[in-house]
Amino acid sequence: MLSKNSSKILLALLLNFVTVSTIFAQVKEYRDTKVDSISSTTNRKLLNDLATDRFEKRTYKTAHHQIPYRILKPENNLKGVKFPLVITFHNSTRIGNDNEKQLEPLARIWLRDSISANYPCYVLAPQFNKRSSNYENNADGVQIAKPSDDVFAMLELIETIQKEFPNIDKDRIYLVGYSMGASTAQNLMSIKPQKFAAMFAMAGVPDFSNIKKLSAKNIWLIHGEKDIENPYIGSVNLYNKLTSNKKLIFTTFKNLDHNNITIPFLLTAEIPKWLFAQHK
């Protein structure tokens, strides 16, 4: 029979094992959130009314590419302090070259006072003048995302931004995207997984091209079960292919479709909080 001290030690070890197992366990969750038209309109308006002057307008030019982009810098950009870089990718309705429309809600959340104060970072928001990701069916009949040439040019732009702002923390570069933007985030993570610390992909079409390298990446997939534009089954397939990834979260919103999937995140700190906890 174990002594009292031995029992306590054994219990502590078991509790520690459970805690560690939970921390490093894959998460698959379902949310029953519902969004009505009033809250949808109100949440979007609150973000759309924010002034975007802090997002500096620029254009990245090479011999073959021209990418308009906006850059947001930390308000208290203290010398010697390292800041994350968040890269946000827009959906297909924001395609163009006005250097305005790409500031969709997931880019604008970083302008909210509570977010900029508690989660200071650089935010890079490029705009594509054509589809950044193109969709096709693979041999299994599953829709997959293929990157455009501009996605490869993005890697050059990111390097340029890092050289200009050496206080960007190279271990905390994050990819965020909705719809086509989520597909583009997946493309970039698949092309150069060692570059990025984490990816938040909402309602995207999957990229299966580098599954093995994604098995140890911090990934949060969000999808609405009622999404028929970018079918929900795509994220299910990606999740099933990443069963060995203990850092993967897959959140299904049972009542939401493609157009209202972003709403539950717009006025909360859930995205920044998760991103800032992730490191390479």
CATH number at residue 100: 3.40.50.1820
Instruction: Give the pLDDT of residue 5.
Output: 54
171, part of any domain: yes
Q: What is the pTM of this model?
A: 0.90
CA distance 196 to 203: 20
5, part of any domain: no
247, part of any domain: yes
Instruction: Give the pLDDT of residue 18.
Output: 36
15, part of any domain: no
162, part of any domain: yes
pLDDT per position as a tens digit, 6-35? 554 444 444 443 333 345 679 999 999 999
If one counts the domains in the chain, the total is: 1
| Cβ atoms 67, 149 nearer than 8 A | no
223, part of any domain: yes
In this structure, the strands spanning 55-61 and 198-202 are unpaired
14, part of any domain: no
pLDDT per position as a tens digit, 247-263? 999 999 999 999 999 99
**Residue 159 parent element (H or E):** helix 149-164
pLDDT per position as a tens digit, 165-214? 999 999 999 999 999 999 999 999 999 999 999 999 999 999 999 999 99
8, part of any domain: no
pLDDT per position as a tens digit, 81-140? 999 999 999 999 999 999 999 999 999 999 999 999 999 999 999 999 999 999 999 988
Residues spanned by the domain of 62: 27-276
